Amino acid sequence: MTKKSLDYKKITFLILAAGILVRALYVIFMPVVNFAQYDIGTVDLDNNVLTGHLGYIFYLYKNHSFVPFDPREIYQFNHPPVHHIICAVWISFIGLFTNSTKVLIESVQFITLIYSVITLFAFERILDELEVPKSGKAFALLIFAFQPTLIMTAGSVNNDGIGLMFQVLAVWFTARWYKTRAYKDIFAIALSVAIGMLSKLSAGLVAFPIAVLFLYTFIADWKKEKTFPLKRFFQYVVFGCICVPLGLLWVIRCYVKYKMPPTYIAFLPETSAQYVGDFSRFERLFFPDPIGVLKNLAHGKLGYGHNIWMQMARTSALGECDLATFPAWAKAICLLCIFTNLCIALWAFVAFIRVFALPKSKCDLGHRLFFITCYITMMYSYFSFADTYPHECSMNFRYVQLAILPPLVALSYKASKRSGENEPTPPSPGVILGLAYSLASVLVAVIWCVYA
């Protein structure tokens, strides 16, 4: 083992430790009821008023059963139940030591913290399976560890965190299966996708790139062996037998019992203050007026809440908080976070095109097909959702979080080589940008905690 490789192991350890520490401190200091939560709902056990994700959790905790009526009748009760069951079991355990509803509510964040930590480790494992350059791995892991939305998700009591966790786990197990072709990895992929769908239905979107890689591998094996690849076929049968019935269990139950559509979403009405359907599709889905954006930035605000690109830039760095509520110094930090976030996003996108999309790319074709399909699937779903449900909340970056994974993987491959060195290293401007980004993200998390 060389000194250089040992140093990179230490760097990886420090990044993981720092990422976990930031998430833990965020959960400790950020109360559950805050502007960084989504669809949290209400919990009033005395008056039996339970709505939203917290209400869903506490209903299961109190009644030990699902609602005996159409789940669409209570806000957010239509979601698949795995996350809410896990949290209900957890607060049942905490309830052995306290009767305080406030303490029980706050304890839910321990579970979402665990999801976030597992997601962080799973991303590190993906980079390891792909055998990316050590310096590139460290840089991509740094960005992933300090991505503001991923920090915020550690404290979000809805099912975003568990859905992302199972998606990233599915990518990890898929990358491992692509190397080993082992049945144990097929089982792991199938369970990750299925339980992910039982936690948040949109987690099943990761099945599309997996299917493309399965098809590519099947065709490649057939060409190589000159005969029908029976072993590979049986692996796919096993995958389907596990993933399909288990993943669709909640959807089938609700459709059979209550005729609830498989893709039902509790969307806001047109009278909502967040409704943006009055704007044209061009204004909502294409780039905003740059002059107007610059004028807004000069006054310390973003504006253009109806535009998906502005909402992506804002929510990927700040969630749905309003800059107007912050003092000048906090606004400056938030704008710095947005700026560095955009710079890295553009850099990573260029790397994604060069590594995966260009015909002359030297990257493995299976990996290219997988990550291109993953990125396109997530972005199409995001834009389609925002177009179908024209509200500001529909354009939140949390609906497309997995899309950051392919560009970051590509960025890890594109670490530049310096003359005289065997190990590729990111260029100095990139290191400075990454460190500035990480610092800005941590400061934004502090601002969230102070002004929640």
Q: Please report the pLDDT score of residue 70 as a whole number.
A: 93
Closest CA to 64 of 78, 47, 81: 81
| 89 belongs to a structural domain | no
Whether 350 has a pLDDT exceeding 90, the answer reads yes
Mean pLDDT in residue range 218-242: 94
Distance CA 389, CA 372 (A): 26
Distance CA 1, CA 16 (A): 21
Give the chain as a 3 state SS string.
Answer: CCHHHHHHHHHHHHHHHHHHHHHHHHHHHCCCCCCCCCCCCCEECCCCEECHHHHHHHHHHHHCCCCCCCHHHCCCCCCCCHHHHHHHHHHHHHCCCCCCHHHHHHHHHHHHHHHHHHHHHHHHHHHHHCCCCHHHHHHHHHHHHCCHHHHHHCCCCCCHHHHHHHHHHHHHHHHHHHHHCCHHHHHHHHHHHHHHHCCCHHHHHHHHHHHHHHHHHHHHHHHHHCCCCHHHHHHHHHHHHHHHHHHCHHHHHHHHHHCCCCCCCCCCCCCCCCECCCCCHHHHHCCCCHHHHHHHHHCCCCCCCCCHHHHHHHHHHHCCCCHHHCCHHHHHHHHHHHHHHHHHHHHHHHHHHHHHHCCCCCCCHHHHHHHHHHHHHHHHHHHHHHHHCCEHHHHCHHHHHHHHHHHHHHHHHCCCCCCCCCCCCCCHHHHHHHHHHHHHHHHHHHHHHHHC
Closest CA to 413 of 345, 365, 352, 340: 352
| 190 belongs to a structural domain | yes
| 223 belongs to a structural domain | yes
Lowest mean pLDDT among 29-38, 280-289, 351-360: 29-38
Q: Please report the pLDDT score of residue 354 as a whole number.
A: 93
Which tens digits make up the pLDDT trace of 24-37?
999 999 888 776 78
| 218 belongs to a structural domain | yes
Burial class (CB in 10 A: 0-12, 13-18, 19+), 120: buried
Whether 275 has a pLDDT exceeding 80, the answer reads yes
Q: Please report the pLDDT score of residue 415 as a whole number.
A: 60
Lowest mean pLDDT among 53-67, 203-217, 270-284: 270-284
Average per-residue pLDDT in the chain?
90
In the chain, what percentage of residues exceed pLDDT 90?
Answer: 69
Contact indicator for 82, 246 with CB cutoff of 8 Å: no
Contact indicator for 192, 231 with CB cutoff of 8 Å: no
Mean pLDDT in residue range 252-274: 89
Give residue 250's domain range: 159-262
405 residue type, one letter: L
Q: Please report the pLDDT score of residue 416 as a whole number.
A: 46
Which tens digits make up the pLDDT trace of 399-427?
999 999 999 999 998 764 443 344 545 55
Which tens digits make up the pLDDT trace of 117-133?
999 999 999 999 999 98
Report which secondary-structure segment, H or E, holds 114. helix 101-129
Q: Is the pTM of this model over 0.75?
A: yes
| 385 belongs to a structural domain | no
Q: Please report the pLDDT score of residue 419 as a whole number.
A: 34
Q: Please report the pLDDT score of residue 271 as a whole number.
A: 84
In the chain, what percentage of residues exceed pLDDT 70?
Answer: 94
Q: Please report the pLDDT score of residue 298 as a whole number.
A: 62
Q: Please report the pLDDT score of residue 49 as a whole number.
A: 84
Which tens digits make up the pLDDT trace of 136-168?
899 999 999 999 999 999 999 999 999 999 999
| 166 belongs to a structural domain | yes
Number of domains, the chain: 1
Which tens digits make up the pLDDT trace of 77-97?
999 999 999 999 999 999 999
Mean pLDDT in residue range 234-247: 96
Q: Please report the pLDDT score of residue 273 as a whole number.
A: 84
Mean pLDDT in residue range 183-196: 97
Contact indicator for 289, 303 with CB cutoff of 8 Å: no
Question: Cβ contacts of residue 189 below 8 Å, gap of 6+?
Answer: 170, 173, 174, 177, 210, 239, 243
Q: Which two tokens stand for residue 352?
A: 């994604």
| 304 belongs to a structural domain | no
| 243 belongs to a structural domain | yes
Of residues 7 and 410, which shows the higher confidence score?
410
Distance CA 210, CA 216 (A): 10
Question: Cβ contacts of residue 8 below 8 Å, gap of 6+?
Answer: 134, 135, 137, 138, 423
1 by DSSP, 3-state: which?
Answer: coil
Distance CA 223, CA 254 (A): 43
